[in-house]
Amino acid sequence: MATSLVLTVLGDDKPGFVETLAEAITANGANWLESRMTHLAGKFAGIVHIEAAEEKVDGVLNGLNALSSGDLQILVERSRTEAPAVNFEERVLELVGSDHPGIVHDVTRILAERKVSIEDLNTGTDSASMAGGKVFRATAVIRVPDSVDLDSLRGDLEELANDLMVDISLGVAN
């Protein structure tokens, strides 16, 4: 039986970071399945999903612990592979507007109140060359339970968009 592990990695951004991690995973008999990694504020951060036979998990954990040092942190969690408890529809939420504190909190509050799950969230800022300041952009893949009225959710998001002076759209996921 295979055991699924999710790693959170954070370290100083330098060449070879990913190769070193991949070597430790492979050398200890695990398989790299999927990941999301990025450079943020001088650090390299990532989430990696790996799988290993149950009898190899201790070796994988020891290999990953050996990599952890002052400039590299690795957190490992066993994952559950349960199917979602409710039926849902995948949607894509996109937001763009002048950057200011609280945007992510306000949007995620509306989603959490309806038990909407965020599957993937990407955010960032760009320079607003004509107006000065920064433009905040967010794209999220969300899972909307069948029990949630999409028109009501869309209406609440549009009301929030007006309050925040941003554009929010809720589209169909690919």
* 167 and 92 fall within a common domain: yes
Concatenated DSSP letters of 90-113:
EEEEEEEEE--TTHHHHHHHHHHH
Number of domains in the chain: 2
Q: What is the pTM (predicted TM-score) of this model?
A: 0.83
Q: Give a yes or no: residue 33 inside a domain.
A: yes
* 132 and 150 fall within a common domain: yes
H helical segments located in 16-149: 17-27, 57-67, 103-113
| Residue 169, H or E segment | strand 166-172
Q: Give a yes or no: residue 126 inside a domain.
A: yes
Task: Tell me how far CA of residue 34 lies from CA of 43, 59, 152, in angstroms.
Answer: 20, 20, 34
* Tens-digit pLDDT string for the chain (174 aa): 899 999 999 998 888 889 999 999 999 999 999 999 999 998 999 999 999 999 999 999 999 999 888 788 999 999 876 666 679 999 999 999 999 999 999 999 999 999 999 999 999 999 877 767 899 999 999 999 999 999 999 999 999 999 999 999 999 987
Domain that holds residue 127: 88-172
